[in-house]
């Protein structure tokens, strides 16, 4: 096949694996996966999670990459072209729109939170955490959130970093950034794990993560594993579809999707091995959730030998994880502007980036001046429009996007088309993928959606 993306292609499949892993690895990998693993039974939860990755995450990722590589355009134009070629309704292009809009909305608040990590790089490097009490660290964090101008400054810096990479194109921008960010991220993680091994509580951290306790593995834990298996791979937001459009045709979609899932899971487990021995060594609370990063760990960094160095490295790691995700979130919209408005990459990146930055101001003020509370699915939300956008994207748009990706790939697309793109022939592997995407993943994603909106 001679089809090529006008935006260029990855040099090889390993670059796609690094890029897709970079998209998948984000702030949630660093704190959420290790925390929910410990909460829901350690090794028992990991086993269920890996099963969910196999039957939900990987089949949908293969489907999204398949659509992207087949269409070779932005998600909107890809779905329009594929619907036409498969004789389907033109309204399938709404699936592309949903992914692009979801990525745009997510980046608007993701950039603000990534800005916190940027701010904490300087705080850690300056020794601001040294010998500080929990109250003082809490005041530092709450003081940052209460100051919209500080949040706006770091939000602006992070969006600028994202725009600079995307403006340079696939080979000169995305690929060069990924070649640096992902190896650096793994090196930093391994350094942090190496330090954690010296704390004396490493085996307690290993036990917390991997010791199987099936008594803790409730139905809620199974649903959580299903949801995390879906969300951790960046599915349903256009990022994997656009990255798939840059994938060389001689690369195996199945093998690369499996390797991305393995790498994403490995990062999450390494993060747990880096974080929890430190948490246990200093008598901190492992179930602190998101505050573990910005309120709990800085206490440990302030007490440990070499805390300034390792605290700085940790928050640099967070920035790299967020940066690699951010460039994938903005890329679908940039590609659409280049294709449909004949903009240069630089102009498209500037317009999209500035628009995302402006929308992010809503999130900036959601933590202070514009804060309000409401209930969703029986849970109190306290951060106003930030929570509204988060619920709209994570709880509604992404699960529905994943569901319709599976439906299109398995029910609408002709078998010959999917066979050609997957390159598996009609053998057992293809039949397994088709069975999972037709019957298993739609049920799983529907359950994820129902849990997300509070029905389950």
d(CA 159, CA 166): 11
Contacts of 56 (CB under 8 A, 6+ apart): 226, 229, 230, 440, 441, 444, 445
Residue 145 in contact with residue 323, Cβ under 8 Å? no
Torsion of CA 20, 22, 23, 28, to 10 degrees: 130
Task: Extract the tokens encoding 351.
Answer: 């317009």
Closest to 296 (Cα-Cα) out of 141, 94, 76: 141
* β-bridge partners, 381: 374
pLDDT of residue 1: 40
Task: Extract the tokens encoding 147.
Answer: 């100051």
Q: Render pLDDT for 29-69 as a digit per residue (tens, 0 to 9).
A: 887 888 888 888 888 998 999 999 999 999 999 999 999 99
d(CA 419, CA 232): 27
pLDDT of residue 33: 86
13-452: which CATH architecture?
Orthogonal Bundle (1.10)
Beta-carbon neighbour count of residue 77 at 10 Å? 18
d(CA 308, CA 301): 7
Rounded to 5°, angle at Cα 102 from 371 and 141: 35
Q: Report which DSSP code applies to 26.
A: S
pLDDT of residue 285: 76
Q: CA torsion sign, 85 to 88 to 94 to 99?
A: negative
Closest to 210 (Cα-Cα) out of 47, 51, 52, 30: 47
Rounded to 5°, angle at Cα 13 from 11 and 17: 115
Ranges of the chain whose pLDDT falls below 70: 1-3, 287-290
d(CA 286, CA 31): 10
| Region for 414 from its dihedrals, namely left if φ exceeds 0, alpha if ψ lies in -120 to 50, beta otherwise | beta
d(CA 133, CA 147): 22
Q: Report which DSSP code applies to 235.
A: T
d(CA 153, CA 377): 33
- Residue 381 has phi, psi (to 5 degrees) of -110, 135
Q: Render pLDDT for 261-305 as a digit per residue (tens, 0 to 9).
A: 999 999 999 998 998 898 888 887 776 666 778 888 899 999 988
Task: Extract the tokens encoding 406.
Answer: 């599976």
Q: How many CA atoms lie within 13 A of 226 on its CB side?
A: 25
Q: CA torsion sign, 338 to 260 to 10 to 176?
A: positive
Helix (H, G, I), strand (E, B) or coil at 380: strand
Contacts of 339 (CB under 8 A, 6+ apart): 6, 73, 74, 77
pLDDT of residue 40: 87
Long-range contacts, stretch 82-88, CB < 8 angstroms, 24+ apart: 82/408, 82/413, 83/412, 85/417, 86/412, 86/413, 86/414, 86/417, 88/408, 88/412
Closest to 456 (Cα-Cα) out of 263, 215, 218, 245: 218
Residue 204 in contact with residue 42, Cβ under 8 Å? no
pLDDT of residue 288: 66
* β-bridge partners, 328: none
What are the extents of the domains in the chain?
13-452
């Amino acid at each position: 096949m001679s089809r090529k993306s006008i935006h260029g292609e990855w040099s090889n499949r390993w670059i796609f694996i690094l890029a897709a892993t970079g998209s998948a690895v984000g702030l949630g990998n660093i704190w959420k996966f290790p925390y929910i693993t410990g909460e829901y039974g350690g090794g028992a939860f990991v086993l269920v999670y890996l099963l969910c990755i196999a039957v939900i995450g990987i089949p949908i990722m293969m489907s999204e990459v398949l659509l992207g590589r087949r269409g070779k355009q932005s998600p909107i134009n890809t779905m329009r072209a594929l619907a036409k070629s498969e004789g389907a309704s033109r309204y399938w292009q709404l699936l592309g729109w949903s992914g692009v809009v979801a990525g745009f909305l997510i980046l608007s608040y993701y950039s603000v939170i990534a800005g916190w990590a940027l701010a904490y790089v300087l705080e850690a490097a300056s020794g601001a955490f040294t010998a500080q009490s929990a109250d003082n660290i809490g005041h530092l964090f709450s003081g940052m959130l209460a100051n919209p101008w500080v949040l706006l400054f770091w939000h602006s810096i992070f969006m600028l970093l994202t725009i600079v990479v995307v403006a340079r194109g696939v080979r000169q921008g995305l690929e060069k950034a990924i070649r640096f960010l992902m190896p650096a991220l793994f090196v930093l993680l391994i350094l942090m794990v190496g330090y954690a091994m010296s704390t004396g509580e490493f085996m307690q951290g290993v036990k917390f993560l991997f010791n199987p306790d099936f008594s803790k593995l409730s139905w809620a834990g199974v649903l959580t594993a299903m949801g995390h298996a879906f969300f951790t791979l960046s599915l349903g937001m256009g990022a994997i579809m656009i990255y798939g459009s840059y994938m060389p045709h001689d690369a195996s979609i199945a093998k690369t999707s499996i390797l991305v899932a393995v790498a994403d899971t490995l990062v999450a487990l390494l993060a747990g091995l880096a974080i929890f021995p430190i948490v246990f060594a200093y008598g901190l609370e492992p179930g602190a959730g998101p505050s573990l990063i910005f309120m709990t760990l800085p206490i440990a960094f302030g007490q440990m030998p070499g805390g300034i160095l390792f605290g700085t490295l940790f928050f640099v790691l967070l920035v790299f994880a967020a940066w690699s995700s951010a460039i994938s979130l903005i890329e679908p919209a940039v590609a659409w502007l280049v294709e449909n408005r004949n903009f240069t990459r630089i102009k498209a990146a500037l317009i999209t980036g500035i628009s995302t930055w402006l929308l992010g101001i809503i999130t900036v003020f959601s933590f202070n001046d514009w804060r309000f509370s409401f209930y969703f699915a029986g849970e109190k939300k306290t951060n106003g429009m930030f929570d509204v956008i988060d619920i709209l994207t994570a709880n509604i748009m992404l699960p529905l996007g994943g569901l319709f990706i599976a439906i299109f790939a398995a029910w609408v697309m002709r078998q010959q088309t999917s066979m050609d793109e997957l390159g598996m022939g009609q053998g057992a592997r293809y039949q397994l993928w088709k069975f999972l995407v037709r019957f298993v993943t739609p049920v799983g994603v529907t359950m994820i959606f129902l849990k997300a909106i509070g029905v389950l």
